[in-house]
Amino acid sequence: MPIDQADLTSDQVLRRDVPWETYLTSKLITGKALQQIRRYDKRSENDRAPLLENDGPSYVRMFISMLLDIQKEDTVEYVLALIDDMLTAKPIRAKLFHDKSLADEDIYEPFLRLLWKGSWFIQEKSSKILTLVVSARPNKNDLTANGEATDSKKKITRSDDVLKGLVDWLCIQLKKPSHPNRSIPASINCLAALLKEPIIRYSFVQADGVKLLVPLISPASTQQSIQLLYETCLCVWLLSFYEPAIEYLATSRALQRLSEVVKGSTKEKVVRLIVLTFKNLLSKGTFGAQMVDLGLPQIVQSLKAQAWSDETLRVLLTILETSSDPRALAVACFDLSQFIQYHPAGRVIVTDLKAKERVMKLMNHENAEVTKNALLCIQRLFLGAKYASILQA
């Protein structure tokens, strides 16, 4: 069955066999490059690591040269997959691109060019690699390719052109995704890394990118959507340090959406980021008044209670899992049912902690008191406190 080209993975690409010798015959690679790629290709990370440790910049030069000279899409995908593999194994290897020996190499141009052409796989890998490489440049204020002065007459892509081109591409992906499922997560992932830099925040605001984040701030349920929400909130938090971005946030529904998420989210990392964002915005313009109108003081009190309840819940769940004392089990079930009834997000939190399975096992317990409280707990979990109380009455 042919693989859908839009859904290619690195594993699928790296299973290909590239006829490197034919590229030597057609003079698209050198004899030295052929020797290097033979030593590197189809090897394990353990075999590749010493090669990169001893001669990393030379391998980077080889990869760059291949991307400049080879046009065949399958091979371009393969080389990008090799680079992505190299950087995924050790992201610090992005610094190899900025080695002094590569001062005359245009390390950005191939990736910047490939953002706008070829398969989705090529675009996605190019954006990821470009993000890692540009973030690893030693001097963030330097405009040359790798922070080294060069006397070469060869045209070198300037860092500010790279950053602008990358941000423009990311914003276009957020507006009109090239891939229905992967464009937005891939773009947000890149932005979460890039927006740490003030110059990127400037470019992003200039590209009118802030408004593109707001629709992505919504309650999430699946692991994938939770990660997207987290990285979107990370972008908003990073932008909350930048005054022009704050002005954009003030005219959007960002605050309302963040408050809706924090009310229902059980993911601590998401809640923490949103609270930090609120802290940054509190003293800015009318944000303080808006926060009061949105009921954030009550939300903060609820979060304080939840922080206490999380620790208590862990104790209750441990009792349900390990105790054989009927009285302890009955009390734990009762306390859990009370938590579900009185905490505004009680049912969601208890479900997320997978307490339901533990309590259901106790519904057939030999002790009547344990059975009674386990049943009450499950009723409140499934029906809600109001209807469960009616049944109990």
> pLDDT of 183-217, one tens digit each?
999 999 999 999 999 999 999 999 999 999 999 99
For residue 102, give the 3-state DSSP assignment. helix
Contact by Cβ (8 Å): 164, 194: no
Supply the pLDDT for residue 390. 41
pLDDT of residue 2: 39
* pLDDT tens by residue, 21-71: 999 999 999 999 999 999 999 999 999 999 999 999 999 999 999 999 999
**Rg of the chain over CA atoms, in angstroms?**
27
Residue with tokens 């209670």: 305
Task: Please tell me the distance from the alpha carbon of residue 14 to that of residue 195, in angstroms, as a whole number.
Answer: 31
Number of residues assigned to the chain: 393
Nearest to 152 by CA among 209, 106, 191: 106
Predicted structure pTM score: 0.77
Residue 157 or 165, more confident:
165
Band (143; pLDDT cuts 50, 70, 90): low
How far is it, in rounded angstroms, from Cα 63 to Cα 206? 33
pLDDT of residue 127: 98
Burial 219-255 (b: 16+ CB within 10 A, else e): ebeeeeebbbbbbbbbbbbbbbebeebbebbeeeebb
- Residue 142: the pLDDT is 61
Q: What is the pLDDT of residue 305?
A: 62
Contact in structure between 110 and 132 (CB atoms under 8 Å):
no
Residue 186 CA to chain centroid, in angstroms?
8
Q: Which tens digits make up the pLDDT trace of 319-372? A: 998 888 999 999 999 999 988 888 777 787 788 777 888 899 999 999 999 999
d(CA 32, CA 49): 19
Give me the pLDDT at residue 345, please: 72
- Say if residue 290's pLDDT is above 60: yes
Dmax over CA atoms of the chain, in Å, equals 87
Give percent of the chain with pLDDT exceeding 90.
66
Which pLDDT band, with edges at 50, 70 and 90, does 388 fall under? very low
Residues 6+ apart with CB under 8 A from 327: 369
* Residue whose pair of structure tokens reads 């740490």 in the numeric block: 196
The residue-averaged pLDDT of 123-145 equals 87
Judged against a pLDDT cut of 70, whether residue 89 lies above it is answered with yes
Query: Which run of H or E residues covers position 335?
Result: helix 326-342
* Alpha carbon separation from 69 to 10, 62, 65 (Å, rounded): 22, 11, 6
Predicted confidence (pLDDT) at residue 393 exceeds the cutoff of 50: no
Do 234 and 228 form a contact (C-beta atoms < 8 A)?
no
Ranking 73-87, 227-241, 332-346 by mean pLDDT, the lowest is 332-346
Distance from C-alpha of 175 to C-alpha of 183, rounded to nearest angstrom? 10
87 closest CA partner among 68, 118, 63? 63
Mean pLDDT of 135-145: 75
CA distance 160 to 143: 6
Higher-confidence residue: 383 or 189?
189
Per-residue pLDDT, 340: 85
Q: Average pLDDT of 227-238?
A: 96
Confidence of residue 124 (pLDDT cuts 50, 70, 90): very high
The confidence band for 392, taking pLDDT boundaries of 50, 70 and 90, is very low
Question: Chain-wide mean pLDDT for the chain?
Answer: 89
104, 154 contact by CB (below 8 A): yes
The dihedral over CA atoms of 246, 249, 250, 254, expressed in degrees to the nearest 10, equals -140
